[in-house]
Amino acid sequence: MSGSRMVRSLSSEWRKVLATKMWWILAIVIAAYSAMIASMFAFMFGAMGDALAGAGPGAPELPAQDAANMVYSSVSTFGYVVPLLLGALAATGELRHRTLGLTFTLEPRRGLVLLSKTLVLVVFGVALGAAGLLGAVGAGAGVTAATGGDPMLGSPESWAVIGRVLAALGIWAIIGFGIGVLVRSQAIAIVIALVFTQFVEPLLRTGAQFWEWSAQVAKFLPGAATDSFVGASVMSSLSSLDPSAPQGSSALGIWAGLAVLVAYAAVSIAAGWALRWRRDVI
């Protein structure tokens, strides 16, 4: 009985996402944005490789695998705002249109509804990641090859990075949903997502590198944890070419980054459950 209720709940939440244009509009946005960012960095790395090769035997090197990883991981480094918005809009849309009360009337087990929404959003977050990777890999690999570099598409490491990008963006959709439940306002949720991901955290991460103690703290910011889990990022990987960077600027590592990112998702969902979901019928 509970299994059939779960299936019905999942089906309902799946149809809710598909019923709007939001998911495919966001898919187009992340694909185009990722293609632009990836091609820009692929061209920059091609020029950088030529410059480093002509700088002499003592110059630092940018291996083809590292360059490819940074190009493909640009989807998660810069595009994680898109699944974050998807999750936030999925929550605030129901609150705005007052459909959540009807959902709870049809399925009074709120925990079951919350679990269904979370699982569906993970799938759509991964789908957005796939759209972003189509843009990034297509454009980035093309520009890399055109500038004389190796796109490294035959490398297992490249595909491991791509797989972790998909997982990371699925988790970001959950974080967005928790934030949307907490703030309730669609406009405020959008502003928070855009301002934090595009301005606040990048500034904090950049400024934190000037002191070792702040660099240690900055590792635990959500974007930094995402980059650690994915295993590559323009914001962190290029520091290997800068010997003056503090030791604290090194990444957490793949599994520690995953743990921190999952913790953000768990806290956002738990806070939404405790403060809004369990108590309100809007």
Domains of the chain, by residue range, sit at: 2-277
H and E: helices and strands count for the chain: 14, 0
Give Cβ neighbours of residue 94 (< 8 Å, ≥ 6 apart). 16, 100, 103, 282
pLDDT band at 118 (very low <50, low <70, confident <90, very high): very high
Mean per-residue pLDDT for 18-35? 92
pLDDT digits (tens, 9 = 90+) for 242-278: 555 444 456 788 999 999 999 999 999 999 888 777 6
pLDDT digits (tens, 9 = 90+) for 38-50: 999 999 887 776 5
Cα 206 from Cα 277, distance rounded (Å): 36
Cα 137 from Cα 131, distance rounded (Å): 10
The reply to whether the predicted model has a pTM over 0.85 is yes
Type and span of the H or E element at 178: helix 156-183
